[in-house]
Amino acid sequence: MLERHIFIIGMPGSGKSTLGRKVSGNLKLRYVDMDRRIQEILGGSMPEIFARYGEEAFRVAETNLLIALTREEPMVVSTGGGTVMNPWNREIMRNFGLILLVDRPIEQILGDIKLDRRPNFAEKAEVERVYHERIPTYRASADLVLDNSRGYYAGVAAMERLLRSRFRLN
């Protein structure tokens, strides 16, 4: 049982959702992927939501969902890549949980990212620009940093160790 929420932050393609979902299952913790939940609520893919409502409406939905999640039992939450860029969201996460940065080198992100699923990225140069713009905020906001440069299985093992030791989980 968690005492506080665990908010996973990081760039799109860093492994937030993949690692968060797997580790939560392994540790039998509740898990929510914010982007997926917003897609369910608003009814569409990320590109459809951005086209239909615009980024500003998406960001408002993101903050509203974050507030709603803090009213629930502590869980693991994979945030969207831009969630932490809003100062209000950072404050919410700090007040209700622990912020875990999944840090992955930009070269690896660029090698894996699927641009057709990312409404803010038309090309890889844009991903790189956003990475350099956001990484200082990610690092300044994080209570814990997970190096996700060694592949999926190493990332899962490292996140499990980190959460087990931090929260005294079995």
Beta partners for 103?
147
What was the pLDDT predicted at 111? 77
Greatest C-alpha distance within the chain: 44
The pLDDT assigned to 124 comes to 74
CA nearest 9: which of 97, 124, 71? 97
> What pLDDT score was predicted for residue 125?
78
| 98 or 13: which leads in pLDDT | 98
Tens digit of each residue's pLDDT (9 = 90 or more) over 87-130: 999 999 999 999 999 999 998 988 776 555 555 555 677 888 98
CB neighbour list of residue 128: distance below 8 Å, 6 or more residues apart: 106, 110
Residue 169 binned pLDDT confidence (cut-offs 50, 70, 90): confident
Look up residue 9 and give its DSSP letter. Answer: E
pLDDT of residue 109: 87
Domains of the chain: 5-165 (3.40.50.300)
pLDDT for residue 25: 96
pLDDT of residue 151: 95
